[in-house]
Structure 1
Amino acid sequence: MSSLTSAVRDLQRDLENKTNDLSKLQKDIAKNHQVRKKYTVQLGENELVLKELDLLNEDANVYKLIGPVLVKQDLAEANSNVRKRIEYISAELKRLDATVQDLEEKQNSKKDAILKLQQRIQSIQTTKGKA
């Protein structure tokens, strides 16, 4: 009887640890989604800037805001900078997507493990109740 009680205690401790791990994974996923949202907004803004730059004539004046000052910038340089920014943001989004997918797979396996532990605890307690 006491071995069943200690087995249940061990399983409950294991269940608690796995639940804490699941909670951490869910927080990481939420944080990742926030960062992804920020990058998505930045990507949209930069694509809009690129479209605006493409509409300009080659002799048009382009200014870049650096702190409180507008600094004149070459159109080709501005175009290049925006394209590089878009490349970087797109790469970050791909990396974040892969990370989220990995975290979600880990989350699903934790959920499965927790469910199996809960079922084992229930079956032990049912067996103990009948004894």
Structure 2
Amino acid sequence: MATLQQLSDEYTDLQKKLQEVIEARQRLDAQLSENKAVQKEFASLDSDANIYKLIGPTLIKQEKSEAIMNVDKRLDFIEKEIKRIEGQITEFSEISEKKKGEIMQLQMQSQAQGQS
């Protein structure tokens, strides 16, 4: 049977993992917003507009259709990552709640034994 300390350590571990995936989700949200802004900007450009991509310290000219395709692919990837991360958040939250329940149950058992 797991001790209170073991359960507490496992719970703390789960909370750290949960915090990490929440932070990853927040970063993805920021990337999603940035890329949607770029997509919106591309939509307002003329078809013959010059688009440059920053690669290292150099700006490289890029075709508008290629730039649009790259942003669309990036948005698709980010949205899939968000779904994956949300699944992890749900999973870690559920496991964490179960662990919290086990800790509370063990504490109540411990208190009951102390009173008898």
TM-score exceeds 0.5: yes
Q: TM-score, normalised by structure 1?
A: 0.86
Residue 3 (structure 2) pairs with residue 14 (structure 1)? yes
Structure 1 residue runs of 4+, over 2 Å off? none
What is the alpha-carbon root mean square deviation over aligned residues? 1.0
Q: Deviations over 1:20-59 (max 9, x none)?
A: 0000000001111111111110110000000000111111
Query: Is the partner of 2:112 in helix, strand or coil?
Result: helix
Aligned to 1:124: 113
Q: TM-score, normalised by structure 2?
A: 0.97
Q: How many residues align?
A: 116
Separation in 2 of the partners of 1:16 and 1:81? 50
Query: Is the partner of 2:53 in helix, strand or coil?
Result: strand
Aligned to 1:38: 27
Aligned to 2:50: 61
* Residue ranges of structure 1 left out of the alignment (5+ in a row): 1-10
Percent identical pairs in the alignment equals 36
Separation in 1 of the partners of 2:75 and 2:27? 13
Aligned to 1:26: 15
Larger Rg: 1
